[in-house]
Structure 1
């Protein structure tokens, strides 16, 4: 008899994460009826979806965002990254802990967050505003991603006064132009492109499919992803180094800077850069979702 695919409690998620329990597909289907077509009984006799099916994953995300975060009509254009909601929520909660430790209060619209690479899904602003009431400015170099994020916000009145989207026209710029004179943020967040090339991204895709299905079936990610979302020259190490180097220029306009770091090997590289720019305080926050280990590195001047 097959063992259960997951425990009833995902203990490695943040204690405040709303997704520590198993997905209640009956309730999620009531919230978002479009999910029902993708739900079936798996080999463990549990209700689930086929996580190798991009449409199923998108329908699940739509239901989770509606049920837990009151987001209506969430959708993304074909081919864009469909983010795993529990892991994205974890980043927000750990950032809340950091802010709570280092400044007074973390709830309400007095907290202002800059999301570098907000993406078509607008996922971090939606979760962060829904849970904590924070204000967000989301930036991206992709005009289509900005249009998608704006469309999501336009159909959700409760978010319209708290989430602003700005196009970054400088291909190598992080903060220039998108931070206005006199504007101050409590923290910047970023989920950087992971891979160093399109070939690396494709190889990672094949490995993910093998993990899902036990064999190589496709070179398309079940959660999608455009080139700018998946890879950049030098991978995440180069991208995070660029954030660090340019953060010096806006040190008086952002109290904290942060980024997800997927690869452990990236840490020594960025620690060296943080020492070079004389960061006054560097924090590393370990996170885990299932078998995936990642961390957030945060710094301030």
Structure 2
């Protein structure tokens, strides 16, 4: 499917600063999305600039947009997540997959990917599978999250052969208990929990809402009951020590599995966490470290990739 995606994309001018192969460089084609996924129709309205859009502060609207995008662009039907689960931005998640696909050694066809903390949305295995035809394993500590991904796979029989799910029985481990003896992955991906506590996660959610309201020229969003408007069940959004400590644990444990995975990668949402992470990776003897910058509009995120092979 990758060559089809590649050809389709190169003819068009890139507007969104996304990876050149990313299908979302042109923004959202709402009429086409509504046609493919009629449930989106009630949420699509002209915004302040007169362009069709949705209210990104409404969780159900965002979730329905995701279902429409996955159906229209990636042939994934019936995508859904439980209330309160993390709702990922599809263009940004596709960008991660496209950028890591450019890493050395990942140009072959039979690539095996491990997603650490796949959540209830299972987004990385779903995209990697449909864009590049990779074999994927999704792991998580939450059985309900994995049950939901399992349901998505069941609604898309073609995915059954390509995606498998594993429960992490010990919250203190990342690769241990997931990577089996004699098993080899070409790449591991991860979207770490970035807050250090539930309270911090709630404040972050409120800040996000206020920023959205400001960008639409509205008053500050009303402080709502402590729910996370962008979703995220427990471990999806926060862990003790936040992103920095999680990255430290991920990097240290990656060293123990250095011969069983070619590239270890992780999203790093806080720029301040990059330097100490790189320092630790170097100290552990990685032979190649890469910091990949991803841009979406004005937002910049980064992926850290390292290999001991």
What TM-score do the two structures reach when normalised by structure 2?
Answer: 0.91
1:228 lines up with 2:230 in the alignment: no
- The alignment status of 1:266 with 2:273, answered yes or no, reads yes
Is 2:245 the partner of 1:238? yes
Q: Whole-Å Cα distance in 1 between the matches of residues 229 and 30 of structure 2? A: 20
Q: What does residue range 21-40 of structure 1 map to in structure 2 within 5 Å?
A: 21-40=26-45
Residue 24 of structure 2 aligns with which residue?
Answer: 19
Counterpart of 1:96? 101
> Deviation at 1:264?
0.8
Distance 1:9 1:255, change over 3 A: closer
Structure 2 CA distance, aligned partners of 1:273 and 1:201?
26
Q: Which runs of 5+ in 1 are unaligned?
A: 1-7
Q: 2:254 aligns with which of 234, 241, 247?
A: 247
Match of 2:7 in 1: none
Counterpart contact for 1:166–1:178, Cα < 8 Å: yes
Q: Please show how residues 1-301 of structure 1 align to structure 2 within 5 Å.
A: 9-98=14-103, 102-103=104-105, 105-106=107-108, 108=109, 110-214=110-214, 215-217=220-222, 218=224, 219-301=226-308
Measured on the aligned residues, the alpha-carbon RMSD in Å equals: 1.3
Q: Distance in 1 between matches of 2:248 and 2:156?
A: 35
> How far, CA to CA, are the matches of 2:48 and 2:205 in structure 1?
24
Decide whether the 8 Å contact of 1:9 with 1:22 is kept in 2. no
C-alpha displacement of 1:136 = 0.4
Matches of 1:200 and 1:288, distance apart in 2: 25
Q: Structure 2: any 5+ residue segments left out of the alignment? A: 1-12, 215-219
> How far off is 1:104 after superposition?
6.3
* Residue 180 of structure 1: how far off its partner (Å): 1.3
Q: How far apart, in 2, do the equivalents of 1:291 and 1:221 lie? A: 23
Work out the CA distance in 2 between the residues paired with 1:233 and 1:266.
15
SS at match of 2:114: strand
Deviation at 1:271, TM superposition (A): 1.4
Q: How many residues align?
A: 289
Per the normalisation by structure 1, the TM-score is 0.93
Q: Matched residue of 2:271: which SS?
A: coil
Q: Deviations over 1:158-198 (max 9, x none)?
A: 11100001000111111111111111000100000011111
In 2, Cα distance between the equivalents of 1:242 and 1:279?
15
